[in-house]
Amino acid sequence: MLEAQKAPFETVEYDYDADDLSVEHIAQANNLPLERIFKTLVAKGDRAGVIVAVIPGNRNLSFKALARASGDRKIALVPVKEIQALTGYIRGGCSPVGMKKNYPVFVDASALSHDRIFVNAGQRGLLVGLAPHDLQRVTEGAFVQIVE
């Protein structure tokens, strides 16, 4: 999908531990900067339905900010058991690129302070590094402040 959209990217293989899929563990175990690894969270709003939040690995999602950005009153993370059916990806391998459907994507604005960020490439053990604007363009996403 990135190639089709002519978005320059690099892939980074990493070692993962199925018992600890945290971004912190991935960063430490693979000597990658935590603030440049962005995690993909799948949520559901009471109005917008399924939405995707892409936030730095060292920060927490602000449910209020995501609700405001998506036009929802309430937001909740999708239960892990529902992620694969909705996105086509498993927990720890969820990418904002190439989901089953084109869900609204909200990328935390802090991504703009980096020339390149890393997001999951769609499977455990593989990241993709790309410019924040390319991620935004490919996902048709929006940059917003959505972290606490």
- pLDDT given for residue 32 in this prediction: 84
- pLDDT given for residue 17 in this prediction: 78
State which H helix or E strand residue 109 sits in.
Answer: none
Domain boundaries, the chain: 9-144
Q: What are the pLDDT digits (tens) for 105-131?
A: 999 999 999 999 999 999 999 999 999
Query: If we measure between CA atoms, which residue out of 101, 104, 99, 113 comes closest to residue 43?
Result: 104
Residue ranges in the chain modelled with pLDDT below 50:
none
Q: Which CATH number does the domain 9-144 belong to among 3.40.50.720, 3.90.960.10, 3.30.1330.10, 3.40.50.11540?
A: 3.90.960.10
Q: For residue 97, count other CB atoms closer than 10 A to its CB.
A: 23
- pLDDT given for residue 86 in this prediction: 97
Q: How many CA atoms lie within 13 A of 34 on its CB side?
A: 10
**Tokens for 61?**
């999602």
- pLDDT given for residue 109 in this prediction: 98
Q: For residue 66, count other CB atoms closer than 10 A to its CB.
A: 25
Query: If we measure between CA atoms, which residue out of 147, 136, 146, 143 comes closest to residue 2?
Result: 136
Mean pLDDT of the residues in the chain: 94
